[in-house]
A and B are shown apart, each in its own frame.
Chain A
Amino acid sequence: MQAVRTSFKKSSLILGIIPAIFFQLVMGVGPSLATFVLSFTDITGVKGVPWKFIGLANYKELFFQQNHRDLIQVIKNTIIFCVAVTVIQNLIALFIAIALNNKMIRGRDFYRAVVFMPTVLGVLVTSLVWLCVLNPMDGPVAKFIGLFGLTSGFFTSSKTALACCIWTQIWMAMGHSMVINLAGLQSIPNELYEAGAIDGATGSQSFRYITFPLLWPTLNVNIMLAIIGSLQSFQVILLTTGGRNMATQTLAARVMYFAFNINSGSGAGAMRQGYGAAWAMFLFVFILTATLIYYRSVKRRDELI
């Protein structure tokens, strides 16, 4: 592989890329690979405590020695969280993008700005706002459903907590999918719709035969991002319901719970980081499997078209 000739000094070019490569190796790729190694140790988050390799003990505990109901619940939660977030977020983002792409609608930039705002507000502000709005005692939503004689514990009840986390996650992340969809829609040439209209295509036909196929690559990116993102996401869960409420624990939340004991809010506590690393490896395999399953099913579908 031959480098392109340049009159800049090679040494300067190399000096320029060293910081980025150094950080990528030491803070990025290195730690990622080390997760695998640490998953065979009993290392803790406390400095100076001796640690040793303990073979497969962490994995044994993860799969066989802990309460089976907990493990099954965590896997179930992870799947529900991932599927619900991916499907609902992308469906609504698609609808909003199509609505906001309609030239008949006035004030589109404002609506787009409003829906995108949580991306800027960040996960902490989002979580605290929804904790307040979904306050089970006297929040506005509690009052509203109270009019129909209903009550709910929202984030505090084991029946509804996961749904509330899913809702908050979607509220936060949907703007991201929407702007990507909107950019995809705007890149579809208008002539196609005009040609379709001349040929007498109805609204639903032009969606089926023009919009959807041309937007598909964009949707595909969005779905992929949502699957991976929701499987890795634990911030909303830990900030709203903590780590002890098993009803909301996903794999990613468990990693943080065991490794950093984040539930207590201070990061102090047991901090079983070797065990946490084993969970992180399990999560990694889980994400890999989910992505492959999605990729395979999409490929099959693409072949059918």
Chain B
Amino acid sequence: MNSLNNIKNLGIRLLLYLFIAVIVFIYLFPLFYAFNTSLKTKLEYMSDPTSIATSFHFENYVQAFKKANLSAYVWNSIFYMMVCTTASMMMSIFLAFPLSRGYLKYATYIFGLFVIGMFLPDGTIPQFQLILKLGLYNTRLGYMIGMIGGGGIPLFVYMVYIKGIPKEFDEAASIDGCGYFRFMFQVLIPLMKPAIASMSIITAIGVWNDIIRAIIYLSSKELYPITRGLYVFQGQYQVDMPQQMAALIMVAAPLIIAYAFLQRYIVDGIVAGAVKS
């Protein structure tokens, strides 16, 4: 009986491993293929696109880096990412604190304003009209302004997190004569570090990966984020697949490296957001 169970367990395990192997293959193969392609010369690619690269042609990367002008775009992306993430996180934290503590009148109505936003029609078109009328089309500010906000998942996660921080901190701080803003920056924000780390990373990835807004709002090249640069490059150099893939790997690599180190925070943040909202 026992040995029969063992065989059954082994069988289930093998099946599970097989299933996981197929899934992992489906997820890793495209990236390996893109990487493999990026190492070939154009001729090698045209004669046999699927063969394994034998000689490594890193000059594709140099070429693509120059042609796609990625060095300029990468700084734009970093700038957009930092500004949008910092501004959004500050807004969420400063909103979450009084709402979570109930320090303000009409807290439920204010919170409702942020909940109802999720159930309304898509506002992309009027937003565009507004930015156009303000003369912010094709400016850094116009591009970023729609990606900044204090609502969404960070707000909910922060509100729950702040509930877990004892109120005695607030009282102690104000008795010691600490003003509200000093309290926020020196007491509350340090206490919220784990939550802020998760939410900042998720917000930052969202800004870094944006492509649709970059297409809608930006027309001059000097303002492009890296995604828009890659998008234009793949339209222009459609024939040169190895260089295209080299450019793609250069855009994806920082994300993959960051992901390897920050995975915990990212996954925790996603789960917290889904469970709490």
Contacts and interface: CB of A to CB of B under 8 A. Distances in A.
B165 interface: no
A209 interface: no
Contact of B127 (A12, A31, A36, A235): A31
B78 interface: no
B216 interface: yes
Interface string A29-44: 1111111111000010
Contacts of B175: 7
A143 B20 CA distance: 24
Nearest to A43: B129
A68 to B, nearest CB: 25
A31 B17 CA distance: 49
Given A13-B180, A114-B24, A122-B205, A180 B128 contact: no
A1 B108 contact: yes
Interface stretch (A154-162, A188-196, A259-267, A294-302): A259-267
Interface residues of B, number: 105
Main secondary structure of the interface of A (DSSP, over half): helix
Contacts of B266: 116, 119-120
B170 A6 contact: yes
Given A133-B33, A265-B215, A267-B216, A12 B122 contact: no
A19 B106 CA distance: 17
Interface of B: 9, 12-13, 16-17, 19-20, 23-24, 26-31, 33-34, 37, 46, 49-50, 90-92, 94-95, 97-99, 101-108, 110, 113-114, 116-117, 120-130, 132-133, 137, 145-146, 148-151, 155, 170-171, 174-175, 179-181, 183-184, 205, 208-209, 211-212, 215-217, 219, 227, 230-232, 234-235, 241, 244-245, 248, 251-252, 255-256, 258-260, 263, 266-267, 270-271, 274-275
Nearest to A291: B119
Nearest to A120: B259
Given A104-B16, A121-B255, A225-B274, A30 B122 contact: no
A38 B104 contact: no
A265 B235 contact: yes
Given A27-B145, A138-B49, A265 B181 contact: no
B117 A114 contact: no
Contacts of A305: none
Contact of B117 (A19, A24, A283): A24
Contacts of B17: 105
Interface in A98-146: 99-100, 102, 104-105, 111-125, 128-130, 132-133, 135, 138-140, 143
B34 A129 contact: yes
Given A21-B110, A129-B30, A267-B219, A29 B120 contact: yes
A82 interface: no
Interface of A: 1-4, 6-10, 12-14, 16-17, 19-21, 23-38, 43, 45, 47, 92, 95-96, 99-100, 102, 104-105, 111-125, 128-130, 132-133, 135, 138-140, 143, 171, 176, 179-180, 183, 203, 221-222, 225, 232, 235, 238-239, 255-256, 259-260, 262, 265-268, 273, 276-277, 280-281, 283-284
Contacts of B126: 30-32, 34-35, 37-38, 277
Given A3-B102, A23-B149, A259-B124, A124 B33 contact: no
Contact of B212 (A143, A171, A235): A235
Given A26-B130, A124-B231, A125-B209, 7 more contacts: A3-B105, A105-B17, A121-B256, A122-B211, A259-B128, A265-B235, A267-B215
